[in-house]
Amino acid sequence: MVTNSTSLGKPPSGTRGAREGRAPTLWKQISRNRFLYALLIPVAIYLILFKYAPMAGEIIAFKNYRLSEGIWGSSWVGFEQFEKLFASRDFYIVLRNTLLLNLYHLVFAFPVPIVLAILLNEVRAEWYKRTLQNLLYIPHFISWVVLGSIVIALLSPSTGVVNTVLKAFGMEPIYFMADKFWWPVSFIVSGIWKEAGFGTILYLAAMSSIDPTLYEAAKIDGASKRRQIWHVTLPGMRSTIAILLILQVGKMMDVGFEQVYTLRNDAVTSVAEVISTFVYTRGLVSLQYSYTTALGLFQSLIALILIVSVNRIIKAMGERGLW
Amino acid sequence: MVTMGKDKGGPPASARRGRPDSPARWLNNVFLALCAYATLFPFVNVIATSLSSSRAINAGEVFMWPIEFNVDAYHNLIRDGQLIVAMQNTVLITVVGTALNMLFTIMAAYPLSKARLRGRNFMLMAILFTMLFSGGLIPNFLLVNSLGLVNTYWALWLPALISVYNMFVMKAFLEGLPEELEESASIDGAGEFTILTRIILPLSKPVIAALTLFYAVGWWNSYMNVLIYIRSTDKMSLMVKLYQMIDLVSSELLRGEGVTQAVITPESIRAAAVVFAILPILCVYPFLQKHFIKGVLLGSVKG
């Protein structure tokens, strides 16, 4: 990739086709493909305007940005915004919540689709399996606003079904959404509800490509069902699990805005405020543009480092990388 | 062994046993049915709530079936009219947004699927990089603001013209089409535009269907961008309207006192609004789910 992009500007040095002379070839190539380039022009404009310009806009993290003065008019402040950020208690709370919710997700939610896929794979009647799959996929297609409102209603201490059942067993109702212990639990479980079913698709695909003779051989060797799963099924899913796991780690700095925003409330801010919601409320609601851009930039940089190192790890493990 | 002949292509190992279902397998089937039940129960409950009386809701009597059936909540919603307007807005956002997405995704993916194209790798890297590193919320907002797009739907559509992931799925699919098709068509005198629209796109129906669905569901459910960029009440999308209703109610629920003793509690209205928002998806889902799955699998072939 590197050689290709740099060779554009450099004179040819013994590459293929160099004998014909560079300039006419390049021109001819472009002119022969002008239709394709014409298609790409709007795409390039889009990328520059809406993707790369905002990256340049990150410089306001080093300024004291005021709407009235604009990006260029606002004064430079160097790393002052970052110093303010790292000195504030909010930053550590928000960072801790972001990392913790991701950690809980990794430990409790990540394995669920794997287990579910293994169980689904053991269903023999094809129609039954397909029906189950289609039902389990449904929440994936529904927005967090809807799911969040359903969760809040189900867990309501006065009228929610969950607490009605608890009360029926003589227990005290639990204020799930207002309790610092139960809120993260509800958060993770609702995440499982939405994505676990859909998450089985890739694992099921991986399992269907396992060579059936491996199972035959295992059976002849007297392996029980459980040992077959351990020694044949799981190794067969290994690369899928690895890639998805590492992708998940690459997202450690980010908790989706919509899930938190719909589930959170003032009673649990200390465990529920994450980077994305903090940037929204402090940046767009309280108009602290530069301060929150500094936080956003910090988050993006860590995320970039994570995903690049993660890709290295994937490749070092002998799997195909993300790029 | 008996079943072996019946299965077409890679049967799961489990299908190869001749024995009837063992207790463990039977247990597994029941357990999975319970999982599916748990997944669906909240939706059934919210539908039942939307059709129940406020007395029954407040008493916590509603589980799977409406108690003291009535459609007052829906009546109220329709009479109020705001949700209908919000739904029309969402339909507009979804249709135009998806069309723009597909146009730009194809415009990016088709040229980039040609290995012969000079500068292709540079362009691919430039696109991939936007997936790894982005300008962040505030710079994006300031850009849209300075372009004067705030409170127009262009503020939603333009920054999200291409999903990088979907573009790569499309590109991988196009790379899989045989090159000879285009060559023979161009020998027959077809122009490049004709080749694209008459040959390539019809052959790409599966991937186009899958990506259209992904984009459309994304737009239908989109919430954060509307929250940020749209100001006028009459331009609000369904999800934001819904959130405003939930927010009012949830703060009351948190106090743990049930809701006010009106004939129609906000809770049943909220439930009705939720049903409103999910009904379109539930209606089209059975017909389209196979495209979704195909889309996911297409994407996984070449991450």
Q: Provide the residue-wise pLDDT of chain B in tens; the chain has 303 residues.
A: 333 333 344 444 444 445 566 888 889 999 999 999 999 999 999 999 999 888 888 777 888 888 888 888 888 888 888 888 999 999 999 999 999 999 999 999 999 998 888 889 999 999 999 988 888 889 999 999 999 999 999 999 999 999 998 999 899 889 888 888 888 888 888 788 888 988 899 999 888 988 998 899 999 998 899 999 999 889 999 999 888 876 665 555 544 444 444 334 478 888 898 998 888 888 888 888 777 777 777 766 544
* Beta-carbon count within 10 A of B201 CB: 14
Judging contacts by C-beta atoms under 8 Å, the chain B residues touching residue A173 are 256
* A266-298 pLDDT per residue, tens: 888 889 999 999 999 898 888 888 999 999 999
Residue B54 and residue B48 in contact, taking contact as beta carbons nearer than 8 Å: no
Structure token digits, residue B274: 């939720």
pLDDT at site B20: 63
Q: Does A107 touch chain B if contact means CB atoms closer than 8 Å?
A: no
pLDDT digit string, tens, across residues A14-60: 444 444 445 557 788 788 888 999 999 999 999 999 999 999 888 88
- Is any Cβ of chain A less than 8 angstroms from the Cβ of B21? yes
pLDDT at B301: 55
Q: How far is B138 from chain A (nearest CA, A)?
A: 6
pLDDT of amino acid A236: 86
For residue A210, give the nearest of A240, A246, A243 by alpha carbon.
A240
Nearest CA in chain B to A43: B108
> Which tokens belong to B173?
């699919």
A80 belongs to a structural domain: no
Nearest residue to A25 via CA among A36, A35, A17, A34? A17
Q: Residue A137 in contact with residue A197, Cβ under 8 Å?
A: yes
How close does chain B come to A254, measured CA to CA in Å? 12
Share of chain A above pLDDT 70, in %: 92
| B14 lies within 8 A of chain A by CB | yes
Q: CA-CA distance, A277 to A296, in Å (whole number)?
A: 11
Three-state secondary structure of A287-315: CCHHHHHHHHHHHHHHHHHHHHHHHHHHH
**Shortest CA distance from B266: residue in chain A:** A153
CB A282 within 8 A of CB B141: no
- Give the angle B294-B295-B300 at the CA atoms, nearest 5°: 95
Q: What is the CA radius of gyration of chain A?
A: 26
Quote the DSSP letter at residue A122: T
| Number of domains into which chain A is organized | 1
Say whether A124 and B25 touch across the interface (CB within 8 A).
Answer: yes
Q: Are B225 and B156 in contact (CB under 8 A)?
A: yes
Tell me whether residues A116 and B161 touch, CB distance under 8 A: no
| Three-state DSSP state, A215 | helix
Measured torsion, CA atoms of residues B19, B20, B25, B27, in degrees rounded to the nearest 10: -150
CATH number for the domain that contains residue A181: 1.10.3720.10
| Chain A partners within 8 Å of B193 (Cβ) | 35
Helices (H) and strands (E) in chain A, counts: 19, 2
The percentage of chain B sitting over the pLDDT mark of 70, rounded to a whole number, equals 85
pLDDT > 90: percent of chain A: 35
What one-character-per-residue DSSP string does A40-86 give?
HHHHHHHIIIIIIHHHHHGGGGGEE--TTTHHHHSEE-TTHHHHHHH
The whole-number pLDDT of residue A46 equals 95
B140-189 confidence digits (pLDDT tens): 999 999 999 999 999 999 999 999 989 998 998 898 888 888 888 888 88
3-state secondary structure of B178: coil
User: Which amino acid, residue A124?
Assistant: R
**Is A25 within the bounds of a domain?**
no
Tell me the residue range of the domain where A303 lies: 88-316
Q: Do A300 and B136 touch (CB under 8 A)?
A: yes
| β-sheet bridge partners, residue B146 | none
Are the beta carbons of A93 and A273 closer than 8 angstroms? Answer: yes
pLDDT tier for residue A69 given thresholds of 50, 70 and 90: confident
For residues B88, B93, B95, B97, the Cα torsion angle rounded to the nearest 10 degrees is 180
Q: Are strands A63-64 and A75-76 parallel, antiparallel or unpaired?
A: antiparallel
Answer yes or no: is A76 within a domain: no
Interchain pair B40, A33: CB under 8 A: no
pLDDT score recorded for residue A78: 84
Nearest CA in chain A to B44: A150
A49 inside domain:
no
A15 at B interface, C-beta within 8 A = no
Residue A5 maps to a domain: no
Query: Any chain A CB within 8 A of the CB of B116?
Result: yes
Q: What is the pLDDT, as a whole number, of residue B192?
A: 84
Selected residue of A1, A50, A255, A304 to mutate for chain B interface (largest B Cβ count, 10 A): A50
Cβ of B104 and A116 within 8 Å? no
What's the mean pLDDT in A132-150?
92
How near does any CA of chain A get to the CA of B289, in Å?
A: 7
**How far is the C-alpha of B234 from the C-alpha of B245, rounded, in Å?**
15
Substitution target from B93, B138, B224, B246 for chain A, most A beta carbons within 10 A: B138
Query: Which residues does B25 contact at the CB level (< 8 Å), separation at least 6?
Result: A122, A124, B14
Does B60 contact A202 at a Cβ distance shorter than 8 Å? no
The stretches of B133-229 forming alpha helices (DSSP H) are 137-146, 154-157, 164-175, 179-187, 192-194, 201-203, 205-221, 224-229
Between positions 180 and 219 of A, the ones with CB within 8 A of B are 193, 197-198, 201-202, 205, 207-210, 212, 215-216
Residue A3 lies inside a defined structural domain of this protein: no
Which chain A residues in 78-97 lie under 8 Å from chain B, judged by CB atoms?
A: none
Kindly state whether A69 is in contact with chain B, defined as any CB-CB distance less than 8 angstroms.
no
**SS percent in chain B: helix, strand, coil, step 5:** 75, 0, 25
* Residue listed under structure tokens 């019946």: B6
Q: A274: which DSSP letter?
A: -
Across the A:B interface, residue pairs with CB atoms under 8 Å apart total 297
* pLDDT over 70 at A237, yes or no: yes
**CA dist list (Å): A300 to A248, A295, B139, B166:** 15, 9, 13, 22
Chain A residue with Cα closest to B122: A5
Contact A134 B128 (CB under 8 A): no
DSSP labels for B65-124?
S-SS---HHHHHHHHH-HHHHHHHHHHHHHHHHHHHHHHHHHHHHHHHT-TT-TTHHHHH
Whose structure tokens read 């039940």?
B37
Cβ <8 Å between A161 and B60: yes
| Look-up of token digits 């930053």 | A91
What letter would DSSP give residue B15? G
Q: Which of B32, B62, B250 sits opposite A132 (nearest CB)?
A: B32
Contact A168, A179 (CB under 8 A): no
